[in-house]
Chains A and B, each alone.
Chain A
Amino acid sequence: MIDRYAKRNNRAERLRNNRAERLRNNRAERLRNNRAERLRNNRAERLRIKTASLKEYRLILSVLCILYSVFSFAQSNLTYTLRMAATDEVELLDNFPAVYETEKVNIRLYDGGKYEPLRYDEGRDTVDFIFAHPGEEDLTAWGDSVFCYHESDEVVWTVWRSKKEPKNRNQRVLVANGRNAFVQYLHKETGSSRSQGWIWWVFAGLLFAAGAAYACLVVLQRRKERELSSVEQETLRRKRMGKRRHYGAQLYLWLLLLVLYAPIALIAVFSFTKSKVLGNWTGFSLDLYANLFTGQADAGLNSAIWYTVVIALVAAVSSTLLGTLAAIGIYNMRARQRKVVSFLNSVPMINPDIITGISLFLLFVALGMSQGLATVCIAHVVFCTPYVVLSVLPRLSRMNPNTYEAALDLGATPAQALRMVMLPELWPGMISGFILALTLSVDDFGVTFFTKGSGGLETLSTFIYSDARKGGLTPELRPLFTIILLVMLTVLVYINIRAAKEEKK
């Protein structure tokens, strides 16, 4: 009896012990796990912080690099400056359009490359600066580019692209650019006669240093990662396979954007100064903006803006109408007809500008049409309409094809059915086609160039082209395109934000 009792007791004891042990074990297990997890977390945290600080270093390094290179280039650009001082020798300037300037012009020295005699092409070569020694017969040109002018038939100037500088730095020289000519003293700024080659070496060295530093950092980071446990390595590897930020990739994209935006930034920055020459800072000024808005800019520019707007509106409206009708027609065609018309539709899109332009030019010549506003408008409709057709067609395939027929059955005339049934459905496609046509028309150069005729009609593109050929942009173009850029930026950002919001909903 007692024996049995003791046995039972014993068993209970054992059971209790067992349970306690298990519990204890469990707790220890959990604790151990917890600690390991915390450790792991800690390590990951540390790693994250480290990589974040590494990113900071890289950023600072690259900024330093860029700043320094810009600084050194700015220095070298200041080396030789022309002071527009004397205007007493105006008689010398017979061959130049007599316009005088009183602003500083930077002359950049040409260093490196071949120096060959420029073939003098009458009235064609446009170059920036000419230095002549008054009284001497030969014209010595130097600088990175040379302006060839041709006003008189008697005097044949030989223009050489040469590295030769005037011997005496305080010599009186004749300077001309696309618009202006003046007599002045070549003035040397003291204490900064560095050559650009030297700066290039520094620049290259800096870039190299930045690259090396970056490589070292990446190696260090990798080594840190290797210390992690295999599980952690696996998760890191997994992460890297999927979507994740790679600093190298991001750097690449941003560098690419930097290069893409550099010329645009140049235009935007120099729209805030009065200087006639792009790349020459003469202090902050809003005069160019004022000129643009008060119509004091070049008369040619004003008419070019006007014509661009008119042509774009005419082309966009007519191509939208024509294209929408055509899209409805094409959509209802049988397969074979549809194929033929679609091919026809794609021809102007495949054709490069120059071919479209030349073929239309030949047509207008053959028909004996005088080229001007009308021909440019027709040409723009030609290359805009296919895009309208393509943006309306998807809307058509999305709408119920029976609604139109239903409207007809209910007694609507085709016009009514079109207006009240089809148009509301097609509206978004028409709008996007209209906008597309508008931008294509504003942007076009090649087609306009060949169809504008010689009547003095210029759109913005052709105006810029003839301006650049003459050797210098009309300064008011800079604020104009800065404004266009800012407007486009706001519009696109707004559209994107709205789209993102709608997505969230």
Chain B
Amino acid sequence: MSKILQIASSRRTWAWPYVLFMLLFVVLPLLLVGVYAFTDIEGHFTLRNFAKFFTHSEAIQTFLYSLMIAVFNTAICLLIGYPAAYFMAAEDFKTPKVMAMLFILPMWINFLLRTVATVELFNIFGLPLGEGALLFGLCYDYLPFMIYPIYNTLQKMDTSLVEAAQDLGANRWVCFWKVIVPLSMPGVYSGIVMVFMPTVSTFAIAELLTHNNIKLFGSLIQDYITTTDLLNYGAVLSLVLLIIIGLTSFFGDNSSETEKGGMI
């Protein structure tokens, strides 16, 4: 009895249930993706799924296309979102918090519903649904993820540095490029990661925005994983996506440590 008490009172052990839970429902499933990718339907080891991926031109093309769309979307979000975040931080609003809140509020509406409404908006304005609609919709959905971290870093930025630059004779342009932009880079990095990763893996938005005429990698994975006899091939595709995600988070990680804390 006293031993149990002792174990319970050393608070380190209180995390054990959670660690067990995580091992079972996070680590094990991720390992299973790998296991499924290297086996066939009967469960024998095989590399045929990978061979299929590298010779499957549709999959490769969709993969590259999704990467391209994700890069474009991230760039567009950055181009639109950075000025917005900068203005929000630099402008003298009566209620700066309300302004930031207004940009967050749309995220409370289900993103699929927003996407359907966007499609309807395109219909009303007589615009064709295609690549343009896809990019617009993706940008629309993920823009707040770009604005918020940048806004956060800009707000926390030490303004005396800007003033010092001005006193030393820098004009607005130089001051912006040499002081403000480098200082806001952590926010930009985490914004890029937060936009790029969901865009690469998106699967329902593209389908709705283009009436299923454009397929992204996520939709492809969804197609294969939900088909029972192609499940293993779907696992290969997921593994490819997982690698991409891992690489992005690895490159984004060294800077975004503080940002993630800031978001919450």
Can you show 8 pairs from A to B with CB atoms below 8 A apart? A278-B117, A329-B14, A337-B12, A354-B201, A359-B29, A445-B111, A468-B112, A496-B95
A24 at the interface (CB under 8 A from B): no
The smallest C-beta distance from A381 to any residue of chain B, in angstroms, reads 8
Q: How far is the CA of A430 from the CA of B97 in the complex (A)?
A: 24
Q: Which residue of A lies closest to B242 (CB)?
A: A355
The smallest C-beta distance from B157 to any residue of chain A, in angstroms, reads 13
Q: How far is the CA of A461 from the CA of B31 in the complex (A)?
A: 28
Which residues of chain A have C-beta atoms less than 8 A from B198's C-beta?
Answer: 352-353
Q: How far is the CA of A278 from the CA of B116 in the complex (A)?
A: 9
Among the 9-residue stretches A12-20, A32-40, A341-349, the one with 4 or more Cβ atoms under 8 Å from chain B is: A341-349
Given contacts A249-B87, A278-B117, 15 further A-B contacts (CB under 8 A): A73-B125, A76-B126, A108-B126, A196-B126, A243-B91, A249-B83, A253-B99, A261-B106, A264-B109, A352-B200, A355-B242, A359-B32, A362-B231, A473-B113, A492-B101
Q: Which residue of B lies closest to A237 (CB)?
A: B172
Which residues of chain A have C-beta atoms less than 8 A from B166's C-beta?
Answer: 241
Q: How far is the CA of A337 from the CA of B110 in the complex (A)?
A: 38
Which residues of chain A have C-beta atoms less than 8 A from B84's C-beta?
Answer: 252-253, 256
Asked if A473 and B116 make an inter-chain contact with CB atoms under 8 angstroms apart, the answer reads yes
Asked if B120 and A344 make an inter-chain contact with CB atoms under 8 angstroms apart, the answer reads no
A485 at the interface (CB under 8 A from B): yes
Contact code string A426-465 (vs B, CB < 8 Å = 1, else 0): 0000000000100100010110011000000000110011
Among the 9-residue stretches B17-25, B51-59, B178-186, the one with 4 or more Cβ atoms under 8 Å from chain A is: B17-25
From A144, A389, A485, residue with most partner B Cβ within 10 Å: A144
Interface size counted on chain B using CB atoms at 8 A:
94
Interface size counted on chain A using CB atoms at 8 A:
110
The smallest C-beta distance from B77 to any residue of chain A, in angstroms, reads 12
Which residues of chain A have C-beta atoms less than 8 A from B124's C-beta?
Answer: 73, 77, 108, 266, 279
Which residues of chain B have C-beta atoms less than 8 A from A330's C-beta?
Answer: 15
Asked if B120 and A266 make an inter-chain contact with CB atoms under 8 angstroms apart, the answer reads yes
Sorted nearest first, the 3 A-B pairs with minimum C-beta distance are A329-B15, A326-B18, A359-B29
Asked if B106 and A363 make an inter-chain contact with CB atoms under 8 angstroms apart, the answer reads no
Given A111-B126, A341-B19, A481-B109, decide whether A365 and B103 contact each other with a Cβ distance below 8 A.
no
B203 at the interface (CB under 8 A from A): yes
Main secondary structure of the interface of B (DSSP, over half): helix
Asked if B109 and A267 make an inter-chain contact with CB atoms under 8 angstroms apart, the answer reads yes
Q: How far is the CA of A413 from the CA of B8 in the complex (A)?
A: 10
Which residues of chain A have C-beta atoms less than 8 A from B109's C-beta?
Answer: 264, 267, 481, 484-485
Which residues of chain A have C-beta atoms less than 8 A from B42's C-beta?
Answer: none
Q: How far is the CA of A493 from the CA of B100 in the complex (A)?
A: 11
Q: How far is the CA of A500 from the CA of B114 in the complex (A)?
A: 31
B214 at the interface (CB under 8 A from A): no
- Where the two chains meet, the residues of B that have a C-beta atom closer than 8 Å to any C-beta of A are 5, 8-19, 21-23, 25-30, 32-33, 36, 80, 83-84, 87-88, 90-92, 95, 97-99, 101-118, 120-121, 123-126, 128-130, 140, 143, 166, 172, 197-198, 200-204, 207-208, 211-212, 218, 221-222, 225, 231, 234-235, 238, 241-242, 245, 249, 260-261, 264
Which residues of chain A have C-beta atoms less than 8 A from B130's C-beta?
Answer: 113
Report which of A249, A346, A413, A464 forms a contact with B113, defined as CB distance below 8 A.
A464
Q: How far is the CA of A379 from the CA of B115 in the complex (A)?
A: 24
Which residues of chain A have C-beta atoms less than 8 A from B222's C-beta?
Answer: 354, 449
Asked if B105 and A492 make an inter-chain contact with CB atoms under 8 angstroms apart, the answer reads yes
Which residues of chain A have C-beta atoms less than 8 A from B32's C-beta?
Answer: 359, 362-363, 366
Asked if B26 and A461 make an inter-chain contact with CB atoms under 8 angstroms apart, the answer reads no
Contact code string A110-137 (vs B, CB < 8 Å = 1, else 0): 1111000000010011110000000000
Asked if A354 and B203 make an inter-chain contact with CB atoms under 8 angstroms apart, the answer reads yes
Which residues of chain B have C-beta atoms less than 8 A from A460's C-beta?
Answer: 110
Asked if B108 and A359 make an inter-chain contact with CB atoms under 8 angstroms apart, the answer reads no
The smallest C-beta distance from B95 to any residue of chain A, in angstroms, reads 7
Q: Which of A303-355 contact B (CB under 8 A)?
A: 322-323, 325-333, 337, 341, 344-355
A358 at the interface (CB under 8 A from B): yes
